[in-house]
Structure 1
């Protein structure tokens, strides 16, 4: 047979259209059901050499060795799991990378001599980090045979330990084991449920037709174009995608791709969980002391009076920065103590590292914001233990969040990075970062906040604890020292909008490393921008530009 990887040059990215069904595609000759076994293989990257060829003892230029199982449902190729498939974060293998696989397509083409084609999007990531390196793969299959898997990695959100912005390509040898998957009926049922409530992604051109190009001028104009991963705007319950760019065309399956959004996790995860717990078990969770559940901290200086709400506000009164409260400076240094916590693999080791690494500030809890991933993680552990006191020893904050929040609003899959325990059932979600949503997931979460925490008549978030988080005439939260995002409150940054009419208000922002933004504006208007802005220099004027466009489309002050 003709190999799908030939005659492609080893280092070449090709147009993304080669990974998608063409206009004259025909139905696949046969269904697909089985497992692809892939061995580690060198990736042909640009740049050819990375700043470091070893990261935490692993090679970031090796594609991971993994087993990927799929079943076709109609013309969709559905993975057995959309959770993280660990490889690089575990002991075996030389590759640095873990992987998440998303649904793709199956089809056939007249010139393929009876073979069928399949393609699927994927994300390389690592379980201690928070970015994704998004790509697409394709292969031929017939009976018990498959071709090599041709793939390319096209874009990424902002990196941390692997500093390089890179693209990659290659062809992977695959061993195919056909056969019905375990829980195939459940896989199909979950996928069909997710598709029934999937967000419709409309092109930006439709928004231009509706409002005119002039009103949309200047949206996302400050950031370098090459740093944009995805941008768009939701208005009147419709989302309009402006771009999902790569060097060789729009990112395939942009609506299905999962993106590493870093600290957007804090507001999409921690705040959502706290508000749902407050609704189910009572709003006093915000005033509950952490040490009632983090017993390891009971004898540690500074923690005695810290509440769950203080941790959500980044105001534990603990840290390693300046002991001067003014002028406001939310940044807490990323020193040796931070990296010891960051690299710790288990819940115990992370708690030990953060308790050892933080000192009490003189002002105590609740007074001054200092940005600490460690405290957001600790809050997640505290919520897990609180839920165990209510629901039994198997309870976990992420399982609660999926059951009580995400699934009711139509989010069927919610992968997040977790600690790596001897018993995987004890893995604790990192909560400070590590959530991998689709754009549709972010739309649904944003809409729940904007609808007062209510979905189809059911109150999911506690309305009392949500009310002071949403757009308000006055400033809300603790000072950050950032002129464009001057307050921080309940895991949201806050900015201000000023209309031509003179009206002003404060509004919340889901914000993640690399200038990932979800702006929650009044009138159910939401602005989305995922990016890889390492320098952090694309926020200042950009917030004003994006909100100005939103204000031209709807009177946000009325």
Structure 2
């Protein structure tokens, strides 16, 4: 362990409990907050009877340096109602329908969340997006904090990180709630503020005071909730600031791992030698005080982390699944026509069905009629689009054309194939294969346990998008795919042939070219980029990566470095990872002629 870490550890052992709590959540604002005994923004009088006229610096939602252990206990249900003040910053008409912005400027009125308190931690009974009646938003709630402040006259104060996630989509707006409470059920109003998002086409500030009701009472499975949360926190990768890279590895410039405009970034990080080096979670109004709990959308990262893993896992367990005919497993008349002859499951994952309107890069996916696939609530409507939308133009497996509908159809036929197996008639492809077989065992959070689904009895996983992730989830995924080589404790979880191809470890199988992009390939749900010119390599150097809408990239370099960036401005500067690759090469060779990917310990 570097000396500077040992010194920090010694100092932390002498610090106040609240400072330890803040450090555990990545809460630098809490550690540095002034402790005057009376706070200015969001003080007791404001929460009980005052006004909240404008957004404040988010450090107001963090414990101050003079915070005390909580004297009251919260166990029961928190119910919220009311509407915030709002300010629209970006609203792109090409992605929004009539009334969408107006709906997004309101909050759900059926918010009802159960919490159990463990010391100074508030553990929610439910994680991941919670469906409700609101036409635009679903709510995600993360573990919060409770503490006392000298100026609160005996009340205990609670702060709860949350996110608003677009229904049927992935736009994610992070915020914090804060309220005062007492064990007997007394509660103030709840302050709330949203000052950041990962959403290309709709960016909002929301702030205000909501009406709150606290209904004390036992929470079912409270001991299990507390124990599970403690295990989750203990299993997170160690997190150090990006600046620590230069200390641990002299000669590295951490700034080179930050790409694009700061206003577009939510967070970025590097995973190397078991350490998660992470940036701050900056917002329009200061640092987000609970960076460990910031919810991040997957968008099309799910095409890799759900669809790719699903087919490779099924092929590992049941060889031959990847070559099953789509028409035998898709229960829709449109998939039983001649256009689907010779189309196999693997062609769906590779987006190489031979069916399309235009082979130009993203032309079909960006066409307005894709709304007919994205907007419906029901599985039948989405399945009909996936089976019928495009004419047959090429032989299967010969041309790549990007279609999220192909990935959705893969989830559908995999679900059917799974349920035809003896004893697995009622199982779910996400719950019982992807989560139980891979994502759960590698330690992803309960937030990632929930995938978006059709809003009907079928509850079909969307597959091509729809996960909500924490930064630790992204780091663990990258480690599993990179240095982990798809293994846990030496046990291979994914089909080795498909996985080697997806990770560009088989030089004979690079995948199909992505339209006219000569140095990009797509295979088994994963992208790859040839970095030979940027790195000055002697030959082609293909680096696999995952990509999500707006500017989300996770690259697994062959020298054991993983890098990610979560952004939403949709600009090339926010997805071009040449500069991070050059810096990562200082930590070990990346060029294909001399790189050797290390094994995970």
Given that residues 237 and 274 in structure 2 are in contact (C-alpha distance below 8 angstroms), is that contact kept between their aligned partners in structure 1? no
- Separation in structure 1 between the aligned mates of residue 234 and residue 479 of structure 2, nearest angstrom: 18
| 1:463 and 2:486 correspond | no
Shift of residue 532, structure 1, vs aligned partner: 0.7
- Whether 2:524 is the aligned partner of 1:490: answer yes
Give the match's secondary structure for 1:507.
Answer: strand
- Per the alignment, residue 37 of structure 2 pairs with none
Equivalent residues in 2 for 1:336-415, closer than 5 Å: 336-361=368-393, 363-390=394-421, 391-400=423-432, 401-413=434-446, 414-415=449-450
| Alignment match, 2:17 | none
Q: Which residue of 1 aligns with 2:38?
A: none
Cα 1:173–1:293 shift into 2, 3 Å: same
The verdict on how the C-alpha distance between 1:55 and 1:183 changes in structure 2, with shifts beyond 3 A counting, is: farther
Q: 1:304 aligns with which of 334, 341, 345?
A: 341
Question: Could you tell me which of 45, 54, 63 is aligned with 1:21?
Answer: 63
1:169 aligns with 2:201: no
SS in 2 for 1:272: helix
Alpha-carbon distance, 1:409 to partner: 1.2
Structure 2: gaps (5+ residues)? 1-42, 596-601
Alpha-carbon distance between aligned partners in 2 of 1:543 and 1:471, rounded to the nearest angstrom: 17
Counterpart in the other structure of 2:512:
478
Larger mean CA deviation between 496-505 and 200-209 belongs to: 496-505
Q: By how many angstroms is 1:50 displaced?
A: 9.1
| 1:262 and 2:299 matched | yes
Tell whether the 8 Å contact from 2:343 to 2:353 is kept in structure 1 after alignment: yes
Task: Tell me the residue number matched to 1:292.
Answer: 328
Q: C-alpha distance in 1, partners of 2:49/2:552?
A: 38
The alpha-carbon deviation at position 48 of structure 1 amounts to 10
Aligned-pair Cα RMSD in Å? 2.5
Q: 1:551 to 1:331 in 2, by over 3 A?
A: farther
Corresponding residue for residue 192 of structure 1: 230
Q: Equivalents in 2 of 1:138, 1:484: separation in Å?
A: 51
CA distance in 1, matches of 2:45, 2:341: 64
Q: Is the 8 A contact 2:385 2:405 kept in 1?
A: no
- Count of residue correspondences: 537
Q: Does the C-alpha gap of structure 1 residues 50 and 43 become closer, same or farther in structure 2, counting only changes over 3 Å?
A: farther
Which structure's residues are more often helix, by fraction?
2
**Candidates 454, 478, 482, aligned match of 1:419:** 454
Query: Does residue 152 of the first structure (1) align with residue 193 of the second (2)?
Result: yes
TM-score, normalised to structure 1, is 0.90
Q: Distance in 2 between matches of 1:8 and 1:274?
A: 55
Q: CA deviation at 1:539?
A: 4.9
CA distance in 2, matches of 1:129, 1:203: 31
Paired position in structure 2 for 1:429: 461
Match of 2:395, SS state, is coil
Flag structure 1 segments of 5+ consecutive residues without an equivalent: 323-327
Alpha-carbon distance in structure 1 between the residues aligned to 2:437 and 2:168: 26
SS of the counterpart of 2:441? helix
- The answer as to whether partners of 1:338 and 1:357 remain within 8 angstroms in 2 is no
TM superposition shift of 1:21: 1.6
Shift of 1:473: 8.1
Asked if 1:39 is matched to 2:81, the reply is yes
Distance verdict in 2 for CA 1:107–1:484, change over 3 Å: farther
Q: CA deviation at 1:158?
A: 2.4
Instruction: Quote the Cα distance in structure 2 between the aligned partners of 1:48 and 1:532.
Output: 11
Matched, 1:83 2:128: yes
Give the secondary structure class of the aligned counterpart of 2:117: strand
Distance 1:521 1:37 in 2: 46
CA contact (8 A) 1:218 1:549 kept: yes
Q: How does 1:212-251 map to 2 (within 5 A)?
A: 212=250, 215-221=253-259, 223-251=260-288
2:153 & 2:578 partners in 1: Cα distance? Answer: 55
Contact 1:14–1:248 under 8 Å retained in 2:
yes
Q: CA deviation at 1:514?
A: 0.7
Distance 1:217 1:79, change over 3 A: closer
Aligned-residue offset at 1:482: 5.6
Q: Which among 131, 138, 142 is matched to residue 182 of structure 2?
A: 142
The alpha-carbon deviation at position 7 of structure 1 amounts to 8.8
Deviation at 1:207, TM superposition (A): 0.9
Matched-pair contact (CA < 8 Å) for 1:298–1:304:
no
